[in-house]
Structure 1
Amino acid sequence: MPMNLQSQHPALEQLPESFAIVADNISAIRVSGDDANSYLQGQLTCDLSQLVEKQLLIGGHCDAKGKMFSAFRLITHNQDRLMIQSKGCLPSSLTQLQKYGVFAKVDINEADDLAFLALVGQQGVAFLEQQFGKVPDSFNPVVAEHGTSIVYLPGSLDRYLVVSDKAQLNDIAKQCQLPIYDHTLWTAIEIQSGFVHLNELAAGDYVPQMVNLQLVNGISFSKGCYMGQETVARMKYLGKNKRALFALQGHTDQVVTIADDAMLELQMGENWRRGGNIISHYQADSGELYIQAVLASDTEQDAVFRLKEHTDVTFKLMSLPYSLAE
């Protein structure tokens, strides 16, 4: 456990310039073996043939009907493929990959020997340079050194995700003099960055375009067949998708408990109607509340929402670091 782990939950507007996050709410599926790339190519929305060149791929893993088990960031780590994703959606994705993996030369398991530490800010970059002698960037998004991978994740806040075995990562965290926050802040930055952080109940509910995967280069429409491809392609070419992922912000002076399947209601004049489903959330000590939700894609920028179970807590849309226009 790092000595300077913070107990506070700061609002996104009050974060220090540099800090770190123990991201123990994410894990990874490890895929190895002679057929790793070819097997994943037939299962995932991203194009594995681009992994060597791009080093980092974003993708989704769907069922035959195009509903997502998981959204992930894919890298090569010590010759294995790692699908880094929220712990909430990992079990269902892992089960399905293992189910069909028996027909290929692959080994598929949860990489539960690994841990994840995210760093933000110039002091974070300086710490990584001191520890590893190099830092990834947009041109070279993954660097590896002594069994550790560092992944550059651009967004509302640029993050550097350190991936290593638990003992080594614990040593790295102990040497880090930055304030270190718990995993809830990772969720908050995913919300702000517009990258879906699926919980267990949301896995299997959404086609990739409903959570903006196409807007973060997470879908290849030219790679050929993969599980769920027909539905995903139909969404694009027939314009059938009517939902999108949004970030919302509100304020409350009370601690609010939000269930994984909680709903938002949309204000329509003096009335309220169903607005959408919450996927993840973060509440700061100051009372600021941030929510990631799937809403109608044509939601107006000035729309007002409230929690169905806490009707006095209202929300407005936050800006995302990308446009919803395709």
Structure 2
Amino acid sequence: MSWIDTLPHATVADGIVQYFAPVADELAALEQDGVVSPLTQFGLIRFRGEETATFLQGQLSSDIRQLDTGVAQYSSYSTPKGRMLASFLIYKLDDDYLLQLPVELQASIQKRLSMYVMRSKTKADDATLDVALIGVAGPKAATLVQAVTGALPVGDFSVQNWEGGATVALSGGRYQVVVPADQAAQIRQQFLQAGAKPVGEPVWRLTEVRSGTPWVTAATQEEFVAQMANMELIGAVSFSKGCYPGQEIVARTQYLGKLKRRMYRVRVDGAAQAGQDVFSPEMNGQASGKVILAAPAAQGASEALVVVQMSSLEHGLHLGDLNGPAVEVLDLPYVVA
């Protein structure tokens, strides 16, 4: 039985906790308090073995060697044509490397990576049922993490070990607690006792949108080169590490100035979802780009990350078709050149 099955008041669909209360109440808690969310939308691929770092260095876009300094990093895995098959948050627990990605992609990406292990002294397995992830966000997030774990990571993407688990500091004042699955319900309860409000996956997804963190899902696989989704702006691409699948395309895009699409954060009235097309009048009926991540926001609106033609911004953007709701471009926490 999953630890999620023990949570009271949780509405669960396909193993993912959707909500505990009306979305308006959960959104209000995110703005005013601290919230705690079971991150069951993510799966974990665990790599073990003395040649793991070398193997991953040759497959992923980030510099895996940096993980030995006690930090986490975003990364991506692409086709030889440079199109992203998956995006990850990667960190080490003891000698294990954990690749965190949307749970719907976990099995297929683990299988694909394992095909290339060959004689390397490393092995991949599914850690999703062994390791639980709990997200903490909101104005009181740091206070809550300190109270429950007794330790607080210093600086974005630092990893703080504590008795019973580890905490990864994410951008936007958010934290992710990594614990054994059999202890997750108890630790989540400690956060509630410390004053955290329970929220489901859509509210956590909104924090990802606001932090400008793209997640490749089944709806957007092979749609984007890494820079289109701002991956190099969040530390997910190294231009000095050497070869990996798609590296030539990524490097050419960076150094020859051929990037025509970028990712922007937007607001739109009504619902939006990953994979939806975004249109602009100057594209002569063709889509300008796609939604890569979207989440419900206040007053029935959505906030989303969209990858669109940069030239379309001055002409306006619309969701779904040219007669669809207008898209308002919002700020990101980093500069998009």
Give the TM-score, by structure 2 length: 0.85
**Cα distance, 1:92–1:67 mapped onto 2, change above 3 Å:** farther
**Cα distance, 1:218–1:251 mapped onto 2, change above 3 Å:** same
Which sits farther off after the overlay, 290-299 or 144-153? 290-299
Within the candidate set 268, 284, 290, 1:250 is matched to 268
Deviation of 1:261 after TM superposition, in Å, equals 2.9
Q: Which amino acid aligns with 1:133?
A: G
- Determine which structure has the larger helix proportion and give its number: 2
Counterpart position of 2:162: 145
Counterpart position of 2:301: 288
Mapped to 2, the partners of 1:126 and 1:170 lie a distance apart of: 20
Counterpart position of 1:322: 334
Within the candidate set 204, 221, 230, 1:212 is matched to 230
Within the candidate set 187, 205, 222, 2:240 is matched to 222
SS at match of 2:116: helix
SS at match of 1:29: strand
Deviation of 1:41 after TM superposition, in Å, equals 0.7
Q: Which amino acid aligns with 1:151?
A: V
Give the TM-score, by structure 1 length: 0.88
Deviation of 1:93 after TM superposition, in Å, equals 2.3
Within the candidate set 100, 121, 124, 1:84 is matched to 100
Counterpart position of 2:219: 201
SS at match of 2:44: strand
Counterpart position of 1:9: 23
Counterpart position of 1:124: 141
Mapped to 2, the partners of 1:140 and 1:304 lie a distance apart of: 33
Counterpart position of 1:266: 280
Map Cα deviations across residues 212-257 of structure 1 (whole Å, 9 max, x no partner).
00111111111111222111111111112211112210223xxx4x
SS at match of 2:213: coil
Q: Does 1:300 align with 2:313?
A: yes
**Maintained 8 Å contact 1:3/1:174:** no
Within the candidate set 182, 192, 204, 1:167 is matched to 182
Counterpart position of 1:53: 69
Mapped to 2, the partners of 1:70 and 1:176 lie a distance apart of: 31
Mapped to 1, the partners of 2:105 and 2:258 lie a distance apart of: 25
**Maintained 8 Å contact 2:84/2:216:** no
Deviation of 1:125 after TM superposition, in Å, equals 2.3
Deviation of 1:35 after TM superposition, in Å, equals 0.8
**Cα distance, 1:299–1:214 mapped onto 2, change above 3 Å:** farther
**Maintained 8 Å contact 1:302/1:317:** no
**Maintained 8 Å contact 1:302/1:316:** no
Pairwise CA RMSD of aligned residues? 2.5
Mapped to 2, the partners of 1:285 and 1:59 lie a distance apart of: 31
Q: Which amino acid aligns with 2:184?
A: L
Identity %: 25
Return 5+ residue gaps in structure 1 as ranges. Answer: none
Q: Does 1:176 align with 2:176?
A: no
SS at match of 1:323: coil
Mapped to 2, the partners of 1:89 and 1:210 lie a distance apart of: 20
Alignment of 1:77-116 (within 5 A): 77-112=93-128, 113-116=130-133
Mapped to 1, the partners of 2:108 and 2:334 lie a distance apart of: 29
Mapped to 2, the partners of 1:89 and 1:244 lie a distance apart of: 24
Map Cα deviations across residues 158-201 of structure 1 (whole Å, 9 max, x no partner).
11101112221111112222111101112111111111022113
SS at match of 1:108: strand
Q: Which amino acid aligns with 1:323?
A: V
**Maintained 8 Å contact 1:26/1:85:** yes
Structure 1 ranges of 4+ moved more than 4 A:
1-5, 11-14
**Maintained 8 Å contact 2:148/2:191:** no
